Amino acid sequence: MWLLGLSLALLVGLPGLLMWAARTEPDMASAIARPASADGSGVSRDVSPTALFEPRFIGVVVADGRVDVSAKFDGRLASVDVKVGERVRQGQRLAQLDTAPLERELAVSEADVQQSLAQQDVARVALAEARDKVTRGGDDALVRLGAMSAEEQARLRFAEQSMAAQLAVAQAQVRTSQARLGQLKLRLSEAVLRAPFDGRISMRYLDAGATVAAGTPVVHLLRDGARMIRFAIPEQQATRVTVGMPVVITPKGSDVSLAGQVDSLAPDVDAVSRMVLAMASVPDAPGTQLYPGSTVHVSLARDAASGASGLP
């Protein structure tokens, strides 16, 4: 009897389940559908449900490039010249360290260079004089004639060698002092923190007057241009996605759709999540803003998905 009752329940409930699935499938398709705009901007609001393949994936917006602009040496911040949200150009000054201590060291180093150059000149003159004495008094004929002893000639040659060694020391001191001066000049140029690329300031960590150590971040910069979408594809659907495939990006809670394409696919499946990681790029579109860290939906174009997987 209980088998008969179970059979009757399945016969009664199955049509209702199929009707629910039929209603749900079009709703899912319409919820994810977003076509490309007619004006070529990549932004659209009214889309046919057949334009997209049904599966869609959750993605996160990431900047194409981001960097902490940090102090290159210990010091005090003299100024921070940008605000959060400000757009900057490559090479623009963002902040500057106090250069007064460096300028004092630079003045001392320049004096050291001048002193070492003078010592080098003195050593060069002394060597020239010693060589002249060897030229005039080093002839063996003078010994044979009794005009000079062999010991005196040996002292002349030793003096020449000593002067040559002193010149080599003076030249080494010149190189050392010039290298030190070059380091200070480089550090002085590094006192100004500049933008490594065009972008927008997303974080300002410190204000003027703060003491910083080498490597301390001062501001955080996000690169301008295309935004990248990082998303994960279930293992069973990974074969439907290929590099270069067009996708449609829909910010969560928005009716705006952006055209993009798949830029890269991981070569393996994550052992824990059983997902394949992928990256898609979305060019800037007028009137839209994708904030790094925000959540989006990634949908595959039906034609592209069908071509990749052989689906009808």
- The predicted structure's pLDDT at residue 310: 35
- The predicted structure's pLDDT at residue 291: 80
Domain ranges of the chain: 30-64+225-309, 66-98+191-223, 100-189
On whether the CB atoms of residues 170 and 115 are closer than 8 A, the answer is no
- The predicted structure's pLDDT at residue 78: 95
- The predicted structure's pLDDT at residue 130: 86
Residue 195 tokens, joined: 């933008």
pTM summary value: 0.59
Architecture of the structural domain at 66-98+191-223 = Beta Barrel (2.40)
Which residues in the chain land under pLDDT 70? Answer: 1-55, 137-148, 150, 285-288, 302-312
- The predicted structure's pLDDT at residue 145: 62
- What's 30-64+225-309's CATH class? mainly beta
Return the half-sphere exposure (C-beta side, CA atoms, 13 A cut-off) of residue 222: 22
Return the half-sphere exposure (C-beta side, CA atoms, 13 A cut-off) of residue 211: 0
- The predicted structure's pLDDT at residue 138: 58
Return the CATH number of the domain spanning residue range 100-189. Answer: 1.10.287
What is the tens place of the pLDDT at every residue in 154-185? 788 888 889 999 999 999 999 999 999 999 99
What is the tens place of the pLDDT at every residue in 134-157? 777 656 665 566 666 767 777 888
